[in-house]
Chain A
Amino acid sequence: MKPRSSTPSPAPSNPYRLSSLRRRGAPLALAGIALAVAAVVACFAYAGGWLSPDRLTQAKVMAAFDAANGVHPGFRRNHAKGLCIAGSFDSNGAGERLSSAAVFQPGRTPVVGRFALAGGQPFAGDATGTVRSMALSFRPAGGGEWRTGMNDIPVFPFRGAAAFTDQLVASRPDPATGKPDPARLQAFVASHPETAAALALIKARSVTSGFADDSYNSLDAFRFVDAQGRATPVRWSMVAAGPVVAATPAEASPDDPNFLFDAMIRRVAEGPVQWHLVVTLGQPGDPTDDATLPWPAGRERLDLGTLTIDRVEAEAAGNCRDINFDPLVLPPGIAPTDDPLLSARSAAYARSFTLRAGEPKQPSAVQLQASGKGS
């Protein structure tokens, strides 16, 4: 083999011998190399957040969920108790002028989804006052999948992930009582006026009898983008198509801890349930970066089509259990806004999904066979 050499004359001594380290300048060179490597490692550690203990990371949010709810391996860290649903979306074509997304072309798109109750405890008993959610994945045949997770409240109580996490930490059970410390929760709300205002709107909402006659809202704002690239800020809702019945306290049935889910299972056995996909169009000046604020009343609302849910299934391998309803799985034609909750949700849901995907599983509290026996 031919050696490479940048020096014109043959080197007198072998540079690879340990003795060459005694050469003048060698210690300096070694120190330089060590410094260069250390500098790269330090930058890497900085990027990874190890040097910034105050940075809000996925790991910290997960730890806050664990502190508040306990650890329930295999289950979602939030909205842990749920039921899989499936059906289709019939687009009426009214969305085409606002968004180039495939789901808004006239026609039918298959949909899978999940009903859930907010909260990280998969075996908590159903209660009418608990926030209910509907998560959907629209799957047009030619690609352009759209996922969304919606809640049945009018606004979100937290402006960003930091407030959300602080609230979780404040709501962790007091070791003495086993219950959240009301003083800590009050202190949190007192220091977050936007949360106090949002909670007032949330408390004033009318609560319906169950999942089937409830309506669900995106809360976060998104942008619809048309074929020419024109963007419109929007918030969307799934509005119950059938009659709405107000919840009565009598409906809480203590002998069936799953009465809300079981009622939904029975309702689908009777026939399909429908919702209208209604988008609210934002005007310039409407907040797109703050889900605690409602948009002014009287904004234009468009009905883009009908969602039909005709199947329910208990969570199991390969169905809605193994889907991450990441709000930023968006098709071309729907884009994020500057709402800071969106990136935070995407990050937290991915971590929650990664954790639960790798954990041993146990059956969901909600099962189809049991629903017949329910009160």
Chain B
Amino acid sequence: MNRPARFPFASRLLHWVMAALILAMLFIGIAMAASLTDYHRLVTIHEPLGLLILVLAAVRVINRLLAPPPPLPAAMPRPMRLAAHGSHLLLYLLMVALPLVGWAMLSAAGYPILLLGTVELPPILAPDAGLYALLRSAHTVLALLLFATFLGHLAAALAHALLFRDGVFSSMAGFGGRRAAAARRIRPRASA
């Protein structure tokens, strides 16, 4: 079996573009919630960017179903596998949930959602101030959970790169040409 040991190109492209966007969103969000001066400027970036992430997340889920990731190294212990799969699932859930909660909370607050000063998004909930308060808290809690999960993800990715050196990091990070890809083709281990 000659399956490439790397994520398909579309998966890597989506991963890195979205990693940059989601990290930017976390920083923009936390900054705007604690700044009077930059609040408006940041909100006008936060909302359209968040919805772009929702669209990209949908594309990404479809892409993952069509182009599954390469398997994890066979020697990886079960708890580590579970942690990897569990945290990836959580990351996928949060990158869909956060923009949806953002959209829903603005709907419940009764705000018109005007993107880039031109496109008006329809509400997805009827106005309800009490529900808005709940969703607004949920947005904060989920964002902090996403940030914490990201920190674990970052530490794990670097551990794969620097400690385990098991090819997991380069399966996502590698951006070489075809030759580089060929060099990373799977070779069954003696132990496998």
Contact = CB atoms under 8 A, between A and B. Distances in A.
Interface in A27-48: 29-30, 32-33, 36-37, 40-41, 43-44, 47-48
A340 interface: yes
B17 to A, nearest CB: 19
A357 B75 contact: no
B82 to A, nearest CB: 13
A8 B186 CA distance: 9
B36 A57 contact: yes
Contacts of A324: 109-111
Contacts of B111: 324, 326, 329
Nearest to B71: A1
B154 to A, nearest CB: 6
A145 B31 CA distance: 27
Given A1-B71, A4-B71, A4-B184, A354 B136 contact: yes
B3 to A, nearest CB: 7
A15 B38 contact: no
A11 interface: yes
B173 to A, nearest CB: 10
Contacts of B70: 2, 4
Nearest to B5: A4
Interface residues of A, number: 65
B109 A5 contact: no
Contacts of A347: 32, 35-36, 39-40
Contacts, number: 188
Contacts of A20: 163-164
Contact of A357 (B109, B151, B155, B189): B109
A16 B188 CA distance: 17
A372 interface: no
B36 A357 contact: no
B66 to A, nearest CB: 20
Contacts of A48: 30-31, 33-34
A83 B70 CA distance: 63
Interface residues of B, number: 67
Interface in B72-130: 72-77, 80, 109-112, 114, 117-118, 120, 127, 129-130
Contacts of B117: 332, 335
Interface in A146-181: 161
Interface stretch (A65-73, A190-198, A315-323): A315-323
Nearest to B30: A48
B64 interface: no
A346 interface: yes
A57 B35 CA distance: 5
A129 interface: no
Contacts of B77: 16
Interface string A263-303: 00000000000000000000000000000000000000000
A5 B190 contact: no
B151 A40 contact: yes
Contacts of A10: 187, 189-191
Interface string A115-126: 000000000000
B41 interface: yes
Contacts of A6: 5, 165-167, 170, 183-184
Contacts of B112: 143, 145, 329
Contact of B166 (A5, A328, A335): A5
Contacts of B136: 354, 357-358
Contacts of A331: 114
A32 B157 CA distance: 12
B16 interface: no
Given A2-B192, A55-B35, A56-B36, A44 B30 contact: yes
Contact of B163 (A29, A44, A143, A328): A29
A61 interface: yes
Interface of B: 1, 3, 5, 26-27, 30-41, 43, 70-77, 80, 109-112, 114, 117-118, 120, 127, 129-130, 132-134, 136-137, 147, 151, 154-155, 158-159, 162-168, 170-171, 183-184, 186-192
Given A5-B189, A57-B35, 9 more contacts: A1-B74, A3-B74, A4-B72, A5-B186, A41-B151, A47-B31, A343-B40, A353-B109, A358-B137
11 contacts: A3-B166, A4-B166, A6-B183, A8-B183, A29-B162, A32-B162, A36-B154, A145-B112, A326-B111, A330-B114, A347-B32
Interface of A: 1-8, 10-11, 14-16, 20-21, 26, 29-30, 32-33, 36-37, 40-41, 43-44, 47-49, 55-59, 61, 143-145, 161, 317-318, 321-324, 326, 328-332, 335-336, 340, 342-344, 346-348, 350, 353-354, 357-358
